[in-house]
A and B are shown apart, each in its own frame.
Chain A
Amino acid sequence: MEDESPTPKKHTDKNKHPKEDTILNHLEISVAESEKRANGTLNLREFYTVYLIETKLTDSEFQNKFPKLTTVWRRYTEFEQLRGYLEVTYPYIILPPLPEKRVMFGWQKISSDTFDPNFVDRRRAGLENFLLRVASHPVLSWDKHFIEFLQHEDDWRETYKSNGYLQLMENKLKALNLSMRLRNTDPRFESIKDYSHVFQNNLNNLLKARSRVAEKQYNVHKLHANYGRVFSEWSAVEKDMGDALQKTGHYLDSLASSIDAGLEDEELLVDQLKEYLFFANSLQNVCKNYEYHQLQLESAEDNVASKNVERNKAQQGKTSLMSRLFGAVDTDEVRELKVNLLDQQIQEGAAAVNVSKTNLNDFSTKALDDIERFQKQKVVDLQETLTSYAFLQLKTAKKGLQTWLQIRDCLQNVP
């Protein structure tokens, strides 16, 4: 591993899977803090939040490449720019998503204010997660601009503006928005596309239903606080029962407030599911990129085919307007000239087809490779998330059970 480290770029070139080395083996990345800042003059203030990225070196052999500790402040929009750049540069990679821009699947307790401390902190965690995902990706982690993003606060902004990726991104997006009619599609990508839609649908439904369930669960719990109040008032007028009633009131109050922590934990798991909901988009983008390549190939092939037809006609000397009008046949010289020209074009076209074909093949292998990696990662991640969900539910249920058992003990002590 250590021997390989000076020439890490090897991995980006080859798609084979030797022992994956990622930047995360040598660094520790965290988004440690957030800060609210203001822009512009006093009367035209625009507020935004910046996040502090800390990069610590853990591998001493890396020292020549990286300083020991670097910190940079970045805005959410800069993360978006980084991701946009990666999206254009690595069309075959299922890019890790950024945390939600606006609150999705919110319910009464979740604030929709993007400056809400809770939201900011969840976004901070989400951004950190994004960086870690990129840094643990065998290809993405070695990207120059990504490393720049972590290291140089201002330089990166400059290079980002100057390197023309903005333009490239726009073109790419335009190309992708064209409706594509393909003659041949790769069944592998078709099934991935279908899967991504099903996956997205399921997660979407799940998250929607979850937010409604959470709201009801919250209400049910919070209503118990009313019991708490009544019981403690009641305890004031009772002699023998007073103590038990007061304790019951306290327990019911604690039951009502316990839901806050439980649902906060749940919200973190929901964020993990949201990440996969957005991953589904990335998956769809890769499929679209595939279709783009396929389209390139097919239009190149079409071009060659039409040239061939033209050439055949030219050989028979029936191509020009004159020949069609007057039934005249071209002279041999003219005919030969045309055929030669077309032959040349066909050759060029065939070369273009070949290029497209290799592009497509290259893309397909890389993309399928990354999809495989993604699927494995997905199973591991979701397994963990769902497991945590089950344990969290168990914890909440146990807490409730314990509270009611304590109440029972209290009441049983009533003479």
Chain B
Amino acid sequence: MASNNTSAVLDIVVESKEISSILKDYDRSSICSGSTIDNSLVQSPSLESFSTIQDIENLSELNMDENSDLSVKIDNPQKHLETLETYITFRITTKVARIEYSENEYVVRRRYNDFIWLRQKLTECHPFCIVPPLPGKHSLIGQLDRYSKDFILLRMKALNVFVSRIVNHPILSCNEHFKTFLTAKQPDFNLHRRQRTNSENKIRTLSHSNSTHSALKNRHLEFDKTKSYLTVLSEKLSSIEKISSRINKERIDFIVELNSYHPIFTTWATSEPELAALLQNIGCAVERNTAAQNMLVQSYPTVIGNPIRDFLTYIDVVQDTIKKREAYQCAYENSLEELNKRHSEKDKLIASSHNPSQAAGFSLWKQPSCDEKLEKLGVYIPQLLKKVEANQDSLECANESLRSDIEHWQLEKQQCLKKILLDFVNKQIEYYQATVNAWEHVTSEIAPQNNVAVSK
């Protein structure tokens, strides 16, 4: 793993020239293809590279699994200054050993909007797959420094997580659009993107209109269980996030107090020659403890805050997907109800036509309309029957695909939460280890002193 890391870092340095050529390519293409942006001349892209060593280390362990047949890495963000907009692109390196792919390695550059497009496409094609969430758009405050290094690195990390989740997904990773996203040269990709935009609306409106009335007649036990489980899980995770943020705030106060605490020891040491060494050491240990605690506090957003929030959006996606399934169940139930209604209507009509004596007076003028209705129903019911069957089929498909996807997701969830918790615990261990070391330094200094005193 270590060698892998270093090579990942080296890549960036060595390839920086190569990338600039890719970039030129990209810019030219955007002009040639009539440009999605504008026709004016494109300013030379800034080649400011944001990649830093530490972050790449973390990323490579996420995605660069040498054994898998598909691995994707996102790095090397670059800022593009154009007349109408400024944006960031990321380099996406794909190593692949699948038949559908003609080459073994692809390098493309994509911007955040392209990721949004990809996610959109994936949700359209696989309505019952849990499509991982994207990192959010920048917040209002983030808007101010959306080109800041921290923000971009954070987004890059999140995009890596996004892509790795797709790569690990048995169905999504085989998606055609995903392949295009990873492999298409910039002009082709732009073309591809624009072609499909028209068809987008259809499915969206369908799923939207359905999801509005979701009063189901029959509860689906299994999915209901998952739903309530997810509610509990997201509740617990957000409480954990709240507690840790509260502890973090308290720690910040603690650090303030500690910062005024340790100088007292060093000040005191100046007036106590016999105790000076001990007082100095204690002051020093408190200071080191403070520094270690500060590190712990600083690591909070990356270790706990962001990962948990990211995971909460993931849970939301799962909830949404389950809701989408409900729309299908709803459609099926509605059609079934309609069918039953028609059936009973038909039965009633037949019954009334068989017993004309019951209401002789009315039957005179009602008779023809009754036959007419029966005839109509005779056509309508088989149609409905077909519809019901179709709905049932698609519902069962949805159930099946969702069931397997949730199973897959459960595994992924476990790994992800395990990682979050372990990262968190490791940070705590790091802090306590530093504190133990600091105090051990003091006590080890004391031991020989005492021995000297005893021997005297």
Contact = CB atoms under 8 A, between A and B. Distances in A.
Q: Do A and B come from one complex?
A: yes
A156 B8 CA distance: 87
Contacts of A35: none
Contacts of A397: 289, 432, 435-436, 438-439
Contact of B229 (A231, A233, A237, A241): A237
Contacts of B264: 202, 205-206, 209
B417 interface: yes
Interface stretch (A181-189, A214-222, A285-293, A343-351): A214-222
Given A379-B275, A405-B429, A230 B257 contact: no
B261 interface: yes
A241 B417 contact: yes
A220 B251 contact: yes
Contacts of B278: 383, 386-387, 390
A224 interface: yes
Interface string B228-266: 010011001001100110110011011001101100110
A79 interface: no
A382 B265 contact: no
Nearest to B274: A379
B167 interface: no
A404 B233 CA distance: 23
Given A230-B239, A240-B414, A401-B436, A387 B275 contact: no
Given A198-B271, A210-B261, A234 B236 contact: yes
Contact of B243 (A195, A226, A401): A226
Nearest to B437: A397
A404 B421 CA distance: 11
A230 B439 contact: no
B257 A234 contact: no
Contacts of A210: 261
Contacts of B439: 390, 393-394, 397
Contacts of A219: 250, 253-254
Contact of B271 (A199, A230, A411): A199
Question: Most chain-A CB neighbours within 10 Å: which of B244, B274, B289?
Answer: B274
A230 B251 contact: no
A88 interface: no
A109 interface: no
B246 A213 contact: no
Contacts of B421: 248, 411
B414 A386 contact: no
Contacts of B279: 386
A393 B436 CA distance: 8
Contacts of B253: 216, 219
A400 B435 contact: yes
A415 interface: yes
A238 B240 CA distance: 16
Contacts of A390: 278, 281-282, 285, 439, 442-443, 446
B425 A230 contact: no
Contacts of A206: 264-265, 268
Contacts of A415: 414
Contacts of A404: 425, 428-429, 432
A394 B440 contact: yes
B261 A213 contact: yes
A209 B268 CA distance: 13
A407 interface: yes
Contact of B257 (A209, A241, A382, A401): A209
A251 B303 CA distance: 20
A303 to B, nearest CB: 39
Given A206-B268, A394-B436, A400-B432, A233 B236 contact: yes
A382 B250 CA distance: 31
Interface in A375-415: 379, 382-383, 386-387, 389-391, 393-394, 397-398, 400-401, 404-405, 407-408, 411-412, 414-415
Contacts of B443: 387, 390-391, 394
B236 A230 contact: yes
A245 B20 CA distance: 49
Contacts of B68: none
Contacts, number: 132
Chain A interface residue count: which class?
35 or more
B390 interface: no
A62 interface: no
B243 A223 contact: yes
Contacts of B425: 404, 407-408, 411
Contacts of A411: 418, 421-422, 425
Nearest to B228: A237
A414 B268 contact: no
B267 interface: yes
B433 interface: yes
Interface in B282-321: 282, 285, 289
A386 B282 contact: yes
B426 interface: yes
Contacts of B232: 234, 237
A152 interface: no
A227 interface: yes
Q: Which of B233, B258, B421 has the most chain A CB within a 10 Å cutoff?
A: B421
Contacts of A10: none
B257 A216 contact: yes
A172 interface: no
Contacts of A202: 264, 267-268, 271
A209 B261 contact: yes
B426 A408 contact: yes
B271 A234 contact: no
Interface string A364-380: 00000000000000010
A216 B446 contact: no
Contacts of A217: 254
Contacts of B250: 216, 219-220, 223
A412 B426 CA distance: 11
A386 B432 CA distance: 21
Nearest to A230: B239
A382 B275 contact: yes
A382 B429 CA distance: 32
Nearest to B242: A226
A212 interface: yes
A210 B286 CA distance: 11
20 contacts: A205-B267, A206-B265, A209-B260, A223-B246, A227-B240, A234-B236, A240-B414, A248-B421, A379-B272, A382-B275, A386-B279, A387-B443, A390-B285, A393-B285, A397-B435, A401-B432, A401-B436, A411-B418, A414-B414, A415-B414
Lowest 6 CB-CB distances: which A-B pairs, in order?
A401-B432, A394-B439, A216-B254, A234-B236, A397-B435, A202-B268
Interface of B: 229, 232-233, 236, 239-240, 243-244, 246-247, 250-251, 253-254, 257-258, 260-261, 264-265, 267-268, 271-272, 274-275, 278-279, 281-282, 285, 289, 414, 417-418, 421-422, 425-426, 428-429, 432-433, 435-436, 438-440, 442-443, 446, 450
Given A224-B247, A390-B443, 16 more contacts: A202-B267, A205-B267, A209-B260, A213-B258, A216-B250, A220-B250, A234-B236, A241-B414, A383-B278, A386-B278, A386-B282, A394-B436, A404-B432, A408-B429, A411-B418, A411-B422
